């Protein structure tokens, strides 16, 4: 396996962004850009062996330079919401950029999705990929600490796209990273209503106004949010206002990856499993997606894709009972999330 690099396009005032292409021996091709640490494209064979793109994105860099809802990017420093864009840490109040009403969403006005990362490619026996690094300065978007972040995308011959995250800080800070890919296993031919989804979770983080957690964790039992037994996403979506946008509680130990979700598209036969070390997974059915044109001229619209964002719970800095997102000097933040592909023709 090897990695090819090409110029993706110029970022005004900054320099060129690159696009890295990694192909495995089973016909999967992953493209990653250093702008926003973004998965730009992911070709996966269908049940007849025909490769097709399973993620939303843009053909050209310009698409990523416009305002867009984090399509394929890394989100940070804090994926999801922080209420009132503030938190207390060691007796000091930190005020973050308010970029979602009075709240803070996905790292602020210029989050990790809108910066150029330093990339280096690698290939070894286990797979090939790109490691990307970004240094976030003290008080960037309001967060304390000089933070060094690295994200490594690896594609292997087990058909896994593995995302490894690491970070260190020189001051206590909060950190919650994720990848915000929008998946449609049928090449965005139609809304994801027929995709069959299983989420290995019996509880979710209850939210109130503006999707801010109330602090309650509730059972999915008997509600349209219950995906423990696989069901088409469209089955109950209209019973949930706007569609699905919630964080499910996972039961891993934080060190080893556990199966969080499985999606099957019966038409193409493509299947994807999400495994993670994180305590939560946000299932978002692209409820707010609208008004942008994506790859191949496809109009991106509501419910065209699903995001399965492995992460800690929203608003943890203001919720003392949620698993902590604090990172201290001397510690290393670690996360591994895997998207693993197969198809209905594969033997189990
Ligand atoms: C996340 C959130 C959604 C929305 C999208 C971006 O998945 O949970 O509410 O903010 O990102 O549009």
Could you report the per-residue pLDDT of 81-96, keeping only the tens digit for each?
999 999 999 999 999 9
Q: What angle do CA 185, 191, 195 make, to 5 degrees?
A: 50
Residue 257 CB partners (closer than 8 Å, separation 6+): 275, 276, 277, 336, 337, 338
* pLDDT above 70 (res 229): yes
Nearest CA to ligand 1 atom 7: 284
Question: Do the Cβ atoms of 177 and 74 come closer than 8 Å?
Answer: yes
pTM: 0.98
Distance 25 CA to ligand 1 centre (A): 34
* pLDDT above 70 (res 348): no
For ligand 1, pick from 68, 101, 111, 245 the residue to mutate: most ligand atoms within 8 Å of CB: 245
> What amino acid positions are annotated as catalytic residues?
180, 309
Say how many C-beta atoms besides its own lie within 10 A of residue 204's C-beta: 23
Q: What is the pLDDT of residue 237?
A: 98
Give me the residue label for tokens 């999967």: 28
Distance 284 CA to ligand 1 centre (A): 7
Nearest CA to ligand 1 atom 12: 69
Output the ligand 1 site: residues, CB below 6 A. Answer: 69-70, 80, 105, 211, 245, 282, 284, 288, 307, 309
Nearest CA to ligand 1 atom 6: 69
pLDDT tens, residue by residue, 276-308: 999 999 999 999 999 999 999 999 999 999 999
Distance 201 CA to ligand 1 centre (A): 20
pLDDT tens, residue by residue, 59-80: 999 999 999 999 999 999 999 9
């Amino acid at each position: 396996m090897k990695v090819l690099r090409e110029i993706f396009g110029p970022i005004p005032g900054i320099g060129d962004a690159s696009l890295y292409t990694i192909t495995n021996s089973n016909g999967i091709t992953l493209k990653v850009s250093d702008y926003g640490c973004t998965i730009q494209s992911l070709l996966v064979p269908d049940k007849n062996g025909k490769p097709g793109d399973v993620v939303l994105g843009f053909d050209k860099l310009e698409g990523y330079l416009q305002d867009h809802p984090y399509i394929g990017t890394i989100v940070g420093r804090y994926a999801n919401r922080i209420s009132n864009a503030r938190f207390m840490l060691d007796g000091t109040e930190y005020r973050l950029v308010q970029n979602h009403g009075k709240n803070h969403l996905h790292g602020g006005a210029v989050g990790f999705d809108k910066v150029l990362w330093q990339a280096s490619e690698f290939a070894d026996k286990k797979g090939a990929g790109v490691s990307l690094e970004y240094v976030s300065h003290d008080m960037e978007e309001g967060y304390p600490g000089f933070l060094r972040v690295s994200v490594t995308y690896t594609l292997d011959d087990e058909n896994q796209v593995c995302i490894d995250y690491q970070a260190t800080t020189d001051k206590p800070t909060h950190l919650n990273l994720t990848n915000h890919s929008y998946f449609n296993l049928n090449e965005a031919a139609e809304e994801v209503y027929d995709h069959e989804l299983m989420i290995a979770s019996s509880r979710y983080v209850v939210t109130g106004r503006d999707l801010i957690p109330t602090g309650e964790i509730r059972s999915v039992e008997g509600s349209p949010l219950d995906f423990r037994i696989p069901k088409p996403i469209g089955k109950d979506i209209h019973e949930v206002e706007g569609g699905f946008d919630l964080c499910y509680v996972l039961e891993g130990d934080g060190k080893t990856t556990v199966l969080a979700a499985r999606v099957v598209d019966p038409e193409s036969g493509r299947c994807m499993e999400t495994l993670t070390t994180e305590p939560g997974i946000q299932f978002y059915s692209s409820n707010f997606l609208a008004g942008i044109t994506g790859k191949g001229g496809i109009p991106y619209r509501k419910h065209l894709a699903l995001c399965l964002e492995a992460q800690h719970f929203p608003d943890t800095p203001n919720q003392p009972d949620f698993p902590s997102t604090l990172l201290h000097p001397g510690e290393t933040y670690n996360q591994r999330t895997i998207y693993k592909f197969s198809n209905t023709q594969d033997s189990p």
